A and B are shown apart, each in its own frame.
Chain A
């Protein structure tokens, strides 16, 4: 079973600052990773798929990078609507798993 570990658990930043979120896989998953944004009371939203491809309609301030076991989601300049919880998810070998999430909160 592949385990995804996200860090940090919480990121306290101000609007306009850069956010860097990490996701580490317990074994290599090539580029089979996605990032989602989750706000309370809303459905999750796909941001990045296949490690670095922005989903349809996602602003350019969101970018993903990495391969193998180490992945990064970067938000270049935080907008007020970006404060949320972010999850990484591996493309499953038939079975999908999420990381435990990183909360990006307003400092």
Chain B
């Protein structure tokens, strides 16, 4: 079945880096855009980044621009989120989500999430 599985979360000190991965199965990854969305403890959903089906377009929330980088390897069915200069406020559960389309629109399949805690 269509599935996304995130990995790479954990506890990291402020200022350090972490890479999250999203492994796709059950569908042709190269056909769809992929998003990262996060939810901080007790807060709402926050969209983080998107990468188009072929990697030609990437966009980021202002809160992570210049610190996070999204990439994809369609041959390996993986999308990564490289997070640098991490801050306390980046603490959240991070979800990857498949877009309904090749470009950026709405998210119809979600992973179970991976938790990131930024703490000294």
- Closest residue on chain B to residue A42 by CB atoms: B112
Whether A100 sits at the interface, judged by CB under 8 Å, is: yes
> Which secondary structure dominates where chain A touches chain B?
loop
- Closest residue on chain A to residue B103 by CB atoms: A94
Mark contacts of B74-107 with chain A using CB atoms, 8 A cut-off: 1 yes-contact digit, 0 otherwise.
0000000000000000000001010010001111
Q: Are B106 and A101 in contact (CB under 8 A)?
A: no
> Which secondary structure dominates where chain B touches chain A?
strand
Minimum CB–CB distance from B116 to chain A (whole Å) comes to: 16
CA distance A43 to B95 in the complex (A): 8
Of residues 83 through 105 on chain A, the ones whose CB sits less than 8 Å from some CB of chain B are 85, 87, 89, 91-92, 94-101
- Closest residue on chain A to residue B110 by CB atoms: A43
- Closest residue on chain B to residue A99 by CB atoms: B44
Q: How large is the interface on B (under 10, 10 to 19, 20 to 34, 35 or more residues)?
A: 20 to 34
- Closest residue on chain A to residue B112 by CB atoms: A43
Residues of chain A at the chain B interface (Cβ within 8 Å): 32, 34, 36, 38, 43-46, 49-50, 55-56, 85, 87, 89, 91-92, 94-101
Residues of chain B at the chain A interface (Cβ within 8 Å): 35, 37, 39, 44-47, 50, 57, 59-61, 95, 97, 100, 104-108, 110-113
Q: Which 10 A-B pairs have the closest CB atoms?
A: A43-B110, A96-B47, A34-B106, A49-B106, A101-B44, A98-B45, A94-B59, A91-B105, A46-B108, A95-B59
